[in-house]
């Protein structure tokens, strides 16, 4: 009987997102084309606000927007 929790699922999801960001950064930096650099800039802009310990009041919207962008790249 495999059991899971919402917290564990969110943790796994966050790790997967972080790994995808790492892979995309490497890919776009390596390609070094105008289109890939534009995508890299979009990615960096989307995640720039998450490097703080104090969440902003609109963190939920920013998180869903960043996840949506991550899924389209």
Is residue 1's pLDDT more than 60?
no
Mean pLDDT of the chain: 90
- The pLDDT tens digits of the residues spanning 9-41 come to 999 999 999 999 999 999 999 998 999 999 999
| pTM more than 0.75 | yes
The tokens of 30 are what?
């390596």
For residues 10 and 36, is the Cβ–Cβ distance under 8 A? no
**Greatest CA separation for the chain:** 50
Q: Tell me, what DSSP letter sits at residue 48?
A: G
Measured distance CA(36)–CA(38) in Å, rounded: 5
For residues 43 and 20, is the Cβ–Cβ distance under 8 A? no
For residues 37 and 59, is the Cβ–Cβ distance under 8 A? no
């Amino acid at each position: 009987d495999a059991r899971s929790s919402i917290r564990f699922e969110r943790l796994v999801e966050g790790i997967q997102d972080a790994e995808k960001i790492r892979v995309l950064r490497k890919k776009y930096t390596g390609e070094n084309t105008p289109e890939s650099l534009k995508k890299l800039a979009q990615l960096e802009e989307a995640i720039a606000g998450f490097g703080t310990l104090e969440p902003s009041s609109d963190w939920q919207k920013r998180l869903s927007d960043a996840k949506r962008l991550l899924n389209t790249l």
